[in-house]
A and B are shown apart, each in its own frame.
Chain A
Amino acid sequence: MSTPGRPASSRHLLGVWIRSLLWTFAESVVAILLAVVLGGIGIFLFSGLLPNHSAFDLGLPIAAYGALWSGALGYPNGVGSTLSYATPLILAGLGVGLGFKAGLFNIGGRGQFLMGAIGAMAVVTLFGQSLPGLATIVLALAVAAIFGGFAGFIPGVLKATSGAHEVVTTIMLNYVFVFATYWAISGPLRLPHSPQPITVDVGTRASALGTINILGWNLLGRDAHWGVLLAVLGIPLLWFLLYRTTLGFEIRAAGANSDAARYAGMKTRQLVVLTMSMAGALCGLAGGTTLLGVVHQIAPGYDTTIGFDAITVALLGRSNPIGIALAGLLLGGMRAGAQSMQISPGVPGELVDALQAVILLFLVINLLRRWRAMRHVDAPTVAPAEPYGLGAVPAEVSE
Chain B
Amino acid sequence: MSDIPGALDAIPLLGILFQLFGYVLANLQYVSNTTVAVAVPITLAALCGVMCERSGVVNIGLEGIMLTAAFVGWFVAAEAAGAMGTGTPLPYFGITMPLVIGLVAALVAGMAVSLLHAWLSISLRIDQIISGTIINIGAAGITGYLYSLISSQSLVGAGQFQKLQVPPGVVDIPVVGWLINAIFDQGPIGLVTIVIVVVLQIMLFRSRWGLRTRASGEHPRAAETVGIDVVWLRYRNVVASGALAALGGVWLSMEQTGNFNAGMTQGRGFIGLAAMIVGRWTPLGAFGAALLFASVTGLSQSLTISHPTGDLGSLINGVPGEFWEALPYIITIVVLAGLIGRSIAPAADGQPYERESAS
Contact = CB atoms under 8 A, between A and B. Distances in A.
A176 interface: yes
Contacts of B351: 393
A299 interface: no
B137 A353 contact: yes
The CB with the most chain A CB atoms within 10 A, among B124, B140, B148, B322, is that of B322
Interface string A328-368: 00000000000000000000101111111110110011000
Interface stretch (A127-135, A178-186, A268-276): A178-186
A173 to B, nearest CB: 7
Given A176-B326, A315-B130, A169 B137 contact: no
A18 interface: no
A105 interface: yes
B274 A348 contact: no
Interface in A376-399: 384, 388-390, 393-397
Contacts of B145: 42, 348, 350-351, 353-354
A289 interface: no
A28 to B, nearest CB: 15
Nearest to A174: B267
Nearest to B120: A364
A173 B271 CA distance: 11
Given A46-B149, A49-B150, A176-B326, A168 B127 contact: no
B213 to A, nearest CB: 17
A353 B140 contact: yes
Contacts of A357: 134-135, 137-139, 141-142
B149 A390 contact: no
Interface in B227-263: 262
Contacts, number: 175
A167 B129 contact: yes
B340 A397 contact: yes
Given A163-B341, A164-B333, A180 B326 contact: yes
Nearest to B277: A395
B337 A169 contact: yes
Say what secondary structure dominates the interface of chain A: helix
Contacts of A308: 133, 136-137, 140
Contacts of B128: 393
Interface residues of B, number: 58
B128 to A, nearest CB: 7
A175 B266 contact: yes
A158 B337 contact: yes
B58 A393 contact: yes
A311 interface: yes
Contact of A172 (B135, B152, B270): B270
A173 B153 contact: no
A342 B326 CA distance: 33
Contacts of B323: 179, 183
A246 interface: no
A51 B148 CA distance: 12
B133 A395 contact: no
A291 interface: no
Nearest to B266: A175
A192 to B, nearest CB: 18
Contacts of B78: none
A364 B333 contact: no
Given A51-B153, A175-B326, A395-B349, A353 B274 contact: no
Nearest to B344: A397
Contact of B350 (A180, A355, A365, A393): A393
Given A180-B326, A308-B136, A348-B145, 14 more contacts: A49-B150, A168-B332, A169-B333, A172-B274, A176-B326, A176-B330, A186-B322, A348-B144, A348-B149, A350-B145, A354-B141, A360-B137, A361-B134, A395-B53
6 contacts: A105-B129, A348-B149, A354-B142, A389-B127, A393-B349, A395-B343
